[in-house]
Structure 1
Amino acid sequence: MEQQLHELRALASRAENRRTETGIPRVAMVQGEIPDHQLAAVYDPMINLILTGSKTMTVGERTLRYDPATYFVMSVDLPAVGAVHPSDTDEPYLAVSLTLEPTVVANFLAALPKSAGGTLYSPGFSIATVTPDLLDAWVRMLRLMDRPDEIAALAPAYEREILFRVLQGPLGWMLRDIATPDTSLSRIGVAIQWIRENFAKPLRVEALAELAALSVSTFHRHFKAVTALSPLQYQKHVRLLHARMMLIAGAGNATSVAFEVGYESPNQFSREYARFFGKPPTRDAKTMLQRLR
């Protein structure tokens, strides 16, 4: 397994200090110190394999740490705050990821025997130890960076193998829930998608529960179990993340951005922003811009 990790690290070391596309559909890599505003984001469903260094992900009050030769699966869109750290020997953080496309996962699962999904209140992100078979599939996938003419023919097969190896492991039920209609996760996913597309609008939990075809109490419990956040907290985090990106992009001042993302009170926006990011909006944006120069 160490030999596979060594080759993967060599292949992924071409990455930059940001999400770096590989030329392979849905496969990306990253290394080094990543700007804070890129680590605080709404993360798409993915499989992420840590190669060197470590990463922590915090959603709500839940924080997980990912070390080398571990991978995490995120099965729903989650507003999270991440932090990456070099290894004990000062090697930069290095990781590769596969974005989970529900249609691809569903087509893959359709050819397999049916199996049980997750428990009723299953978290939307979790961690597992990598296996030699999973590493082997990743090695062959990343080798395609040097064989671009083979990507169209072989990448889909390697993607299916990565999915299959994850499916065999302790987080396999998360893949099934992503692609299976009318599971508890898929119902929460409908509500999450609504919030992401309408985050600036007022949110009524009763309407979201109806959208998810669940009672209000069941919806609220399940939503928090999956996302580690209440629906209103989820909306607030999405609003604040969008606001930060707008401020960094120069799309307005703190007051105009507050109204743009749905706040009625700029003072409340500033308080919640400072609580979430550690600094008031204008000062935080200035700090981020200085780091980007």
Structure 2
Amino acid sequence: MQTLANLMQSYVDKKGWNDLEGIKETEIDGVWLYRSSNGNGRQPFTYESGIILLAQGRKNIYIGDRPVTYAAGDYLVVGVPMPLECEAMPIDGEPLLGLSITIDPKRLHKLVKQLEEQGFLESYCNKHKAGSSGLESTEMEALMLDSCTRLMKTLHCEIEANILGDALIDEVVYRALTGAEGRVLFDLAHQDGHYARVAKALSKVHEEYDQTITVQSLAEEANMSVSAFHNAFRNVTFESPLQYLKKVRLNKAKDLIQIEGMRISDAARRVGYSSPSQFSREFKRHFNATPRAI
């Protein structure tokens, strides 16, 4: 029987991606394959909302002062975009292999509604802890492993991927919702809860990071008092609102400089910095390298 790692490697072979150091989108919309022979030292990243699983290798994530480790056989449930620091390590000379699965809000709400109609949420809440951060790691249960294994088998055939892919994503998201850290996604779907309100404010940060954003305006977006919003924001992201905003801006600027080749001064202005010197200082503090070196 082929393991999940074997299936990912055979898919990499099929696609000719054996030199890949990063991610590539697969034939199924919203499903990305991650591969790296080298890994990376601890450096800033932004994890987008979704399910991230590893079949080979290990990663250490640092969210504020909270470390999270996940390795082969584990998966992450990421409810909101999370600026964090990550180090990735191959094991025994084998490349890191994993999948990243984006969760469309319509898909999430559909599945949550169906589960609630079946009375699932009440029994789930009686068994699992209350409250969620924006990112949780858990071991891949047998049912989740089976779903992901069939997803990888389907990716080997373009016809199957086109016809069965969407249903398989439903199944994987269902497994995450009913798994140990499903509350992260349930809370995100409930628009009246603090978690969902913070998520709404985070959407504003990611859409309007180049504009003037205050904690007051974010609290208003979440329909909360400033003090309640500040506490709820920290519980979800392990950051203050202004620290989070700063990391989003700096990560966006890095992409503009490194990927799009934008001039440093132009990138600084694009992400909302009026002072180039302040941008350079904060960039170096965040990435431990100057914009020019990046």
In 2, Cα distance between equivalents of 1:205 and 1:226: 15
In 2, Cα distance between equivalents of 1:153 and 1:244: 38
Listed as ranges, the gaps of 5+ residues in structure 2 are none
Give the aligned CA root-mean-square deviation in angstroms.
2.4
The aligned residue for residue 273 of structure 1 is 283
| Correspondence for 2:252 among 242, 247, 268 | 242
| Correspondence for 2:28 among 9, 12, 24 | 24
The structural deviation recorded for 1:49 is: 1.0
* AA in 2 matched with 1:106: H
1:36-76 CA-to-partner distances (Å, cap 9, x unmatched) read 69x74433211111111111223333331211111111100
| Correspondence for 1:221 among 231, 240, 263 | 231
The structural deviation recorded for 1:35 is: 8.3
Listed as ranges, the gaps of 5+ residues in structure 1 are 286-293
The aligned residue for residue 290 of structure 1 is none
| Correspondence for 1:179 among 182, 186, 189 | 189
Check the 8 A contact 1:102/1:178 in 2, yes or no: no
Check the 8 A contact 1:18/1:34 in 2, yes or no: no
1:6-53 CA-to-partner distances (Å, cap 9, x unmatched) read 54343454453221122012111111147869x744332111111111
Q: Normalising by structure 1, what TM-score?
A: 0.87
Q: Normalising by structure 2, what TM-score?
A: 0.87
Size of the aligned set, in residue pairs, is 280
Give the ranges of 4+ consecutive aligned residues of structure 1 lying more than 4 Å apart after TM superposition.
33-37, 116-121
1:144 equivalent to 2:148? Answer no
* AA in 2 matched with 1:103: K
The aligned residue for residue 90 of structure 1 is 93
The aligned residue for residue 4 of structure 1 is 3
Secondary structure in 1 aligned to 2:101? strand
In 2, Cα distance between equivalents of 1:270 and 1:221: 30
| Correspondence for 2:222 among 201, 207, 212 | 212
